[in-house]
Amino acid sequence: MNGNFTRRTLVKGCLVAGALVPVAGLFNSVAYGDSPALDPSEPTAKALNYATKSAKADATCANCSQYQGKAGDATGPCAIFPGKSVASAGWCSGWVKKGAT
Ligand code: SF4
């Protein structure tokens, strides 16, 4: 083994690698917008009664103030569920009509 390889070098390498992993994830989601779909069975989603298909025709994620997706997209980000995408046809109890606030 190389005599210059020390425990300090290993620790430094691990710290740098650990710092880069979240940064790489940030660029990945920003560049590709491929946040994983919110699973309705996740605890927070369940607590807010999230469903991928709203039971109310006039209240869906697409017209919710928390929805950050583009009009016409099937899914998009939601401020309530960071890092996840929600169905534009979905709904949860955090729904507030877009433009009402
Ligand atoms: S707060 Fe609820 S209803 Fe509004 S966009 Fe997010 S998941 Fe959909």
The answer to whether the CB of 29 falls within 8 A of the CB of 56 is no
Give the mean pLDDT of the chain. Answer: 81
Q: What pLDDT was estimated at residue 34?
A: 76
What CATH number is associated with residue 59?
A: 4.10.490.10
Cβ-based neighbours of 81, under 8 Å, separated by 6 or more = 38, 44, 45, 50
Whether 1 and 12 map to the same domain: the answer is yes
Q: Which amino acid is at 60?
A: T
Q: How many domains does the chain have?
A: 2
The answer to whether the CB of 98 falls within 8 A of the CB of 63 is yes
Residues linked to residue 87 through DSSP beta bridges, in sequence order: 75
What is the CB < 6 Å shell around ligand 1?
Answer: 50, 61, 64, 66-67, 78, 80, 86, 90-92, 94-95
Whether 78 and 100 map to the same domain: the answer is yes
Whether 41 and 85 map to the same domain: the answer is yes
Whether 68 and 93 map to the same domain: the answer is yes
> Which residues of the chain are modeled with pLDDT < 50?
1-3, 14, 16-18, 20-32
What is the model's pTM?
0.69
Parent domain of 1: 1-34
Q: What pLDDT was estimated at residue 18?
A: 46
For atom 4 of ligand 1, which residue has the closest CA?
95
> Of 74, 79, 83, 76, nearest to 94 (Cα)?
79
Q: What pLDDT was estimated at residue 8?
A: 66
Whether 56 and 20 map to the same domain: the answer is no
Q: How far is the centre of ligand 1, averaged over its atoms, from the C-alpha of 66 (Å)?
A: 6
